[in-house]
């Protein structure tokens, strides 16, 4: 993966951006303790209680969608793209210039909440290595993880309609309208 190569992963109902960790660390140096500079950073965003919970009940999902809730940023360090693909996940490669990659990294970095001591607040960690951090932004039916990913792809120069991309399949369809097809690792 080059420093101007962004990836998108659709894993079921959720979507992720994958970018060079060094690019993200340049925007938010506090991430250096969580990411190796030569790794890839898989980043997602979602509801505080539902996203990353051990048990994702229908009640939690409905509460997340129907009431404004706090959010978290998910972060996983990947040594290669194959690590980010599980089951029926699909992967897309988006070639973009360094300026647009920096813009995307800046967009992602703004969602990490930094406390008064300049530190990130890690809330939980899953066994697969995904870490969840306190985030800025409110999760709601019309501001979902898929809208968040669409805005990130828009920052990378793609023609997206983030407000209309509520579902993972809609984000994926937008990528295809931009001329991208899934790749195999």
Q: What is the pLDDT of residues 116-175, one digit of tens each?
A: 999 999 999 988 889 999 999 999 988 999 999 999 999 999 999 999 999 999 999 999
8, burial (CB in 10 Å: exposed 0-12, middle 13-18, buried 19+) = buried
Q: Are 111 and 147 in contact (CB under 8 A)?
A: no
Mean pLDDT of 48-74: 83
In this prediction, residue 7 carries a pLDDT of 95
What would the pLDDT profile of 90-105 be if each residue is shown by its tens digit?
Answer: 999 998 889 999 999 9
pLDDT at position 3? 64
Cα separations in angstroms, 11 against 42, 49, 79, 91: 12, 19, 18, 9
Between 103 and 13, whose confidence is greater?
103
- With 0-12 / 13-18 / 19 or more C-beta atoms within 10 angstroms meaning exposed / middle / buried, residue 32 is middle
pLDDT band at 2 (very low <50, low <70, confident <90, very high): low
Q: Are strands 71-78 and 90-95 parallel, antiparallel or unpaired?
A: unpaired
For 56, other C-beta atoms within 10 Å of its C-beta total 14
Query: pLDDT-derived band of residue 87, with 50, 70 and 90 as boundaries?
Result: confident
């Amino acid at each position: 993966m080059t420093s101007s190569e962004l990836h998108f992963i659709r894993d079921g109902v959720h979507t992720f951006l994958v970018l060079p960790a060094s690019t993200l660390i340049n925007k938010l140096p506090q991430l250096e303790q969580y990411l190796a500079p030569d790794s890839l950073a898989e980043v997602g965003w979602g509801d505080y209680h539902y996203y990353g919970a051990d048990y994702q009940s229908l009640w939690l999902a409905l509460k997340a969608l129907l009431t404004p809730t706090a959010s978290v940023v998910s972060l996983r360090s990947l040594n290669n793209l194959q690590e980010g693909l599980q089951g029926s996940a699909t992967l897309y490669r988006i070639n973009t210039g360094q300026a647009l990659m920096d813009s995307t990294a800046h967009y992602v970095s703004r969602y990490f909440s930094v406390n008064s001591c300049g530190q990130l607040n890690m809330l939980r960690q899953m066994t697969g290595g995904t870490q969840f951090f306190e985030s800025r932004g409110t999760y709601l039916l019309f501001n979902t993880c898929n809208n968040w990913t669409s805005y990130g792809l828009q920052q990378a120069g793609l023609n997206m309609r983030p407000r209309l991309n509520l579902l993972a399949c809609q984000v994926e369809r937008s990528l295809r309208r931009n001329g991208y097809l899934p790749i195999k690792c």
